[in-house]
Structure 1
Amino acid sequence: MPLAAQRVPMLFVGLLSIACGMWLGLVRLGWNLSLPWPGQLIAHGPLMVCGFLGTLNSLERAVALGSRWGYAAPVLVAAGALMLDLGPLGAFGPMLITGGSFVMVAIFVVVWRRRASLFIATMATGALAWTAGNVQWLGGAPMCRVVFWWLAFLVLTIAGERLELNRVLRPTRAVRSAFIVAMVTVLGGVVAATWWPEPGVRALGVGLLALTWWLARHDVARRAVHQRGVTRFMAVCLLGGYVWLGVGGAIAAFTGVAMPGLLYDAMLHAVFLGFVISMVFAHAPVIFSAVLGLPLEYRPAFYLHVGALHVSLILRVVGDLVDSLGRWRVWGGLLNAVALLVFLLNTGRSMALRGNHGDPI
């Protein structure tokens, strides 16, 4: 069986995880949907972050590594996610996911030895943050503490990827130093939030705002948005995601909210959905092509799921922040799920049609 075909089950588990995570998210918002298992609502965050994004990211890293042992990371993460998808929340799923994150760290150790660089160090630190969060999760730490480590994992990973892609602009030492300051502030805020939640979250917010400024000022997307086709589409996704990163950072910096509630919901979804999922939308043509070995042709219809995501998040965040518009949050959450479903449908349709006509990206 071709190696690309062997990756399909892992990708399928990731997609199943996002579907289950969306279902649980809608239940949490008050939609009258059934729960397969009592107490399964707590799996919403783990399924979205670890089950979908963790599987996708570890699979991408294994492909880039080019060694079969690296696939232990997505296999373990996907297996753990499947446990969360199909059964009550227990220790076995988190244990497998934690094991997968340790393999991710090992992958970055090998990559660092091949080519030591700031962007590799940033992504490796993200993998360490994921592992630290997973260890705490496995140890029974409250999700409101674990989630900030997961946030650092995704933010640092994306920041490292953007730094790598921005090498064409030859950033100066001052630009690189500003990047380091932002990353250290993000990580320092997460560490501090473990013991001093409110000050730590405020510091995290400052770091996210600093990263937003850096990306808006120095990222190649500012130039790429003036291009056409898939290049412009990716740039639009990136720039929109940076706006949401700034929104999440501002809420964190000005409120220091570290416990579940409406502000907490607005902050986390601005970052996880607005920023992180926008990055997934932007890089989907590259990620899915690399993982599955099939070209994914860009289509203007991709703007449908991008637009739906931003509109739904505006509704959700405004509903979180304005008491009299609380129903907007509920409908915004439903549209969040619709945006993700449209993304999956658009992606699948593009890959299916690519077999008949069109040129690879």
Structure 2
Amino acid sequence: MSPKSHYLPTRPSRRSGCRIVLLLLGGFALLAGLDGALILLGLPAPVIAARLADVHGPLMVYGFVGTVVVLERAVAIRRNWAFLSPGLLGAGGIALVSPIPLFVGQLALMAGSIVLLAIYRAIWARQPSTSSAVQALGALLGLAATILWWGGVPVPQLIPAMTLFLVLTIAGERLELARISPTVDERAERWLLAVALVLASGGVLALLWPVLGYPVLGFALLGLVSWLVRYDVATRLVRSKGLPRYMAVCLLAGYGWMGVVGLVWILWGPGYVGPAYDAVVHSVFLGFVISMIMAHAPTILPAVLRRPLPYRPLMYGPVVLLHASLVVRVVGGDARGLDVLVQWGGFANIVAVLLFAGVSVVSVFVGAPPKPVRRESSTASPRGRATISLGTRR
């Protein structure tokens, strides 16, 4: 997701086989989480497990997204011990849906989150930066959520902390990329750090004094969206072509859904069940997080697997389906109390995620699409033949 220039590798990375295994653990968590989503929607599901619906949230946040994101971190720092983090998160995802006691999976997620903090400690030791601090703050909140869940706090009350784990991770990465822009200076970095600290404070307040904490979170999220719109390179790359435009479209759409979450928290405050809760959870974890994964997949997978994921215009299909179905689910279903639209929108959400996974896998194995044929015209000259390319520059 982020450039690796500030991670100074000291040891050879593990073989791709190990990385593929870890990716498969994340893929298992994704499929299990989508199965749990079907159960929660009241739709027929391929597998009916005793607690699949109950662990749906942590399974997706830690078992799927956490494993994939942290795997990229482990690859970046080139330390063998760092692969313990995605390994523990992936194994924790399997444990959550297995018949073994729930606390085993909870402890695995907790241990994986602790190793993730050690990864950020190693990154900070090499080169301190605001982006690393913001991401480490998100990891700390993610660890806190696993500890509280293990201690008996219900998952709905932990949604703010789980949200901030992923939101701050992505925000820190976007800062790293935004540094190529001349508009990003010390003031911009201080602004993002201040927003991150307010978000972290709001996450604590949301647990202790929800009536105060949720509006604080909402306003801070809107502040983060403002920062991203102001400084993120996506606002300029959206006018380009090909892969840069595709990534920018995914990013900006995700920022829009994060703004929706901020507005809901400001206007409706704490909510642990019902339409507002559903709107928040799926706006952030589908509209924002999955959109970020769709945007960064062409750069994450090559870094992890050492195989390219070529951009294809076909990738827009799952993106459009994801966001259109989320509008149906949130605006048509949740906002108007129409359960049938929630179901159909939710089902289309699942199809969009699976469709993107399928397109990505096929693209990896098929390889890059053929380049446009270049026609050449030659003219004679006293010294020989001068070739003039009439093809498209890429």
TM superposition score normalised by structure 2: 0.87
Closer, same or farther: CA 223–85 of 1 in aligned 2, 3 Å: same
Equivalent-residue separation in structure 2 for 1:153 and 1:139 (angstroms): 19
Task: Give 1 or 2: higher helix fraction.
Answer: 1
User: Alpha carbon RMSD of aligned pairs, Å?
Assistant: 1.8
Closer, same or farther: CA 218–89 of 1 in aligned 2, 3 Å: farther
Is residue 131 from structure 1 mapped to residue 143 from structure 2 by the alignment? yes
Partner secondary structure for residue 97 of structure 1: helix
Offset at 1:88?
5.8
Q: 2:52 is matched with which residue? A: 40
Matches within 5 A, 1:1-361: 3-33=15-45, 36-87=48-99, 90-170=102-182, 171-318=184-331, 319-323=333-337, 325-354=338-367
Q: Which amino acid is the alignment partner of residue 145 of structure 1?
A: Q
Superimposed CA distance per residue, residues 148-191 of structure 1 (whole angstroms, 9 cap, x where no aligned partner): 21111001000000000000114133322322232122111111
Q: Which amino acid is the alignment partner of residue 240 of structure 1?
A: A
Closer, same or farther: CA 176–355 of 1 in aligned 2, 3 Å: closer
Q: 2:33·2:52 contact (CA, 8 Å) conserved in 1?
A: no
Q: Which amino acid is the alignment partner of residue 164 of structure 1?
A: E
Which of 1 and 2 has greater Rg?
A: 2
Q: 2:95·2:105 contact (CA, 8 Å) conserved in 1?
A: yes
Q: Which amino acid is the alignment partner of residue 144 of structure 2?
A: A
Offset at 1:358?
6.8
Partner secondary structure for residue 311 of structure 2: coil
Q: 2:391 is matched with which residue? A: none
Closer, same or farther: CA 358–106 of 1 in aligned 2, 3 Å: farther
The more displaced of 349-358 and 307-316 is 349-358
Offset at 1:146?
2.0
Equivalent-residue separation in structure 1 for 2:368 and 2:16 (angstroms): 16
Closer, same or farther: CA 358–290 of 1 in aligned 2, 3 Å: farther
Offset at 1:85?
3.5
Equivalent-residue separation in structure 1 for 2:252 and 2:201 (angstroms): 25
Offset at 1:253?
1.4
Q: 2:376 is matched with which residue? A: none
Equivalent-residue separation in structure 2 for 1:39 and 1:8 (angstroms): 27
Equivalent-residue separation in structure 2 for 1:236 and 1:251 (angstroms): 23
Equivalent-residue separation in structure 2 for 1:345 and 1:63 (angstroms): 24
Offset at 1:34?
6.1
The count of residues paired between Structure 1 and Structure 2 equals 359
Q: 1:40·1:88 contact (CA, 8 Å) conserved in 2?
A: no
Partner secondary structure for residue 55 of structure 2: helix
Equivalent-residue separation in structure 2 for 1:112 and 1:181 (angstroms): 19
Equivalent-residue separation in structure 2 for 1:88 and 1:27 (angstroms): 21
Partner secondary structure for residue 313 of structure 2: coil
Equivalent-residue separation in structure 1 for 2:134 and 2:101 (angstroms): 31
Equivalent-residue separation in structure 1 for 2:44 and 2:246 (angstroms): 36
Offset at 1:357?
6.2
The more displaced of 209-218 and 170-179 is 170-179
Closer, same or farther: CA 48–111 of 1 in aligned 2, 3 Å: same
Q: 2:141·2:164 contact (CA, 8 Å) conserved in 1?
A: yes
Equivalent-residue separation in structure 2 for 1:102 and 1:252 (angstroms): 29
Q: 2:276·2:334 contact (CA, 8 Å) conserved in 1?
A: yes
Offset at 1:213?
1.0
Q: Which amino acid is the alignment partner of residue 57 of structure 2?
A: G
Equivalent-residue separation in structure 1 for 2:18 and 2:195 (angstroms): 38
The more displaced of 166-175 and 264-273 is 166-175
Superimposed CA distance per residue, residues 111-146 of structure 1 (whole angstroms, 9 cap, x where no aligned partner): 001000100100111111111111111112111122
- Runs of 4 or more consecutive aligned structure 1 residues displaced over 4 Å after TM superposition: 355-359
